């Protein structure tokens, strides 16, 4: 059980009263909102360090560790997320919707991102009524860079910062490489790869400020070779490798990065090519969205460590696969 929140300020109460922010969708031809492109940045390589410099850097790193642990303690009590803000893509159904409930239940304010505005608004109303959570709605396609930029900007403008980002939006199309269309190929690449990159790039500066957490939803398909839909699998191998690389890059700046890898989950996934998984599999035979959401919540509530990778498979998965 999670304890009820303390009384909110008037501003927070207004947020929870059903005042949802709606950001219009974007089309590919639109120009990015503002600011310099990352291509304008210059990254310099580090010079070789002397032993004395290395010792100084080590001492500075220990001092920094104490700083970001303190920032985490101010924001969180282990297992709860009071006074935090989470941004979730693919939040209109399935894993994303379940994650919104799991994080709001623990005290987080939530930003919901997906293409279907009406579905997002319905989720936001449930979060308000069930958990007294403040929610904002950002509708758009994660394949467009401007969607992630607008979503992060909206969260920071409304809540003052960003603590948790869940890169959940993902799709599967087709199966066999020989018969896969260009459209199927690019839809998976742009959603599963580009969408994860755009969101991560936009969110990282704000996650560094809050010693926050990035959770990337991967897949069993991104860990083991399999014959079904090699392109989808490749996008999930990329997402997993990308997340681990980002963890290595920003871990010393206080950002936790986690990957959650489920096998089949009873969601709308697969509906474009046939029956969705929620109809294809009977309850209890594969993983439920709420189980994946609990794994994401576990990763998001770690205090000073990272849940680097969480595998969540149906119990007979290895027997079937190997």
Do 94 and 112 contact (CB within 8 A), yes or no?
Answer: no
> Which residues of the chain, if any, have pLDDT below 50?
1-66, 69-70, 73-74, 271
Helix then strand then coil, in percent of the chain rounded to 5, is: 50, 10, 40
- Please state the domain extents for the chain: 82-314
pLDDT value of residue 1: 44
pLDDT of 13: 40
pLDDT of residue 69: 46
Q: Would you call 78 helix, strand, or coil by DSSP?
A: coil
Over the Cα atoms of the chain, what is R_g? 20
pLDDT at residue 225, rounded to an integer: 82
Q: What is the pLDDT of residue 36?
A: 31
The per-residue pLDDT for 317 is: 74
Terminal Cα-to-Cα distance of the chain (whole angstroms): 39
**pLDDT recorded at residue 66:** 47
Chain position carrying tokens 């755009």: 198
Please, where are the H alpha helices in the chain? 10-16, 51-75, 94-105, 117-131, 145-159, 182-188, 195-210, 230-250, 277-280, 289-300, 317-321
- What does each C-alpha distance from 118 to 22, 145, 202, 307 come to in angstroms? 11, 22, 25, 33
Tens digit of pLDDT for each residue in 123-162? 999 999 999 999 999 999 999 999 999 999 999 999 999 9
Pick left, alpha or beta for residue 18 (phi over 0 → left; psi -120 to 50 → alpha; otherwise beta): left
Q: How far apart are CA 152 and CA 138, in angstroms?
A: 10
In this prediction, residue 322 carries a pLDDT of 55
User: Class assignment of domain 82-314?
Assistant: alpha beta
- Facing residues of 111 across strands? 87, 136
What are the pLDDT digits (tens) for 260-308?
999 777 665 554 665 665 556 667 666 788 899 999 999 999 988 999 9
Q: What is the predicted pLDDT for the residue at 298?
A: 97
- Give the count of beta carbons closer than 10 Å to the beta carbon of residue 316: 11
pTM of the model: 0.74
H-helix segments, 251-305 = 277-280, 289-300
Separation between Cα atoms, residue 165 and residue 293, nearest integer Å = 13
Yes or no: say if 91 and 135 are a contact pair by the CB < 8 Å rule. Answer: no
């Amino acid at each position: 059980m999670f304890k009820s929140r303390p009384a909110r300020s008037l501003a927070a109460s207004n947020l929870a009263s059903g005042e949802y922010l709606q950001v219009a969708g974007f089309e590919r031809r639109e120009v990015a909102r503002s600011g310099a492109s990352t291509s304008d940045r210059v990254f310099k390589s580090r010079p070789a360090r002397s032993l004395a410099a290395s010792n100084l850097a080590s001492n500075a790193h220990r001092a920094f560790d104490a700083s970001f642990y303190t920032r985490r303690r101010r924001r969180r009590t282990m297992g709860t997320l009071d006074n935090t803000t989470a941004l979730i893509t693919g939040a209109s159904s399935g894993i994303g919707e379940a994650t919104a409930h799991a994080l709001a239940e623990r005290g987080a304010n939530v930003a919901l991102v997906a293409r279907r505005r009406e579905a997002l608004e319905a989720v936001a109303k449930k979060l308000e009524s069930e958990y007294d959570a403040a929610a904002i709605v950002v509708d758009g396609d994660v394949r467009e860079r401007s969607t992630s930029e607008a979503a992060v900007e909206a969260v920071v403008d409304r809540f003052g910062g960003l603590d948790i980002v869940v890169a959940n939006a993902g799709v599967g199309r087709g199966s066999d490489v020989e018969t896969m269309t260009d459209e199927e190929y690019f839809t998976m690449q742009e959603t599963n790869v580009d969408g994860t990159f755009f969101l991560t790039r936009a969110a990282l500066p704000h996650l560094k400020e809050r010693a926050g957490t990035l959770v990337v939803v991967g897949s069993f398909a991104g860990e083991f070779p399999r014959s079904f839909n090699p392109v989808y699998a490749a996008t999930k191998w990329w997402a997993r490798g990308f997340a681990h690389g980002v963890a290595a890059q920003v871990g010393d700046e206080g950002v936790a990065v986690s990957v959650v890898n489920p096998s089949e989950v009873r969601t709308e996934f697969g509906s474009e090519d046939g029956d969705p998984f929620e109809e294809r599999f009977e309850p209890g035979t594969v993983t439920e969205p709420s189980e994946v959401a609990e794994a994401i919540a576990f990763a998001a509530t770690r205090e000073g460590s990272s849940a680097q990778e969480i595998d969540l498979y149906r119990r007979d998965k290895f027997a079937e696969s190997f």
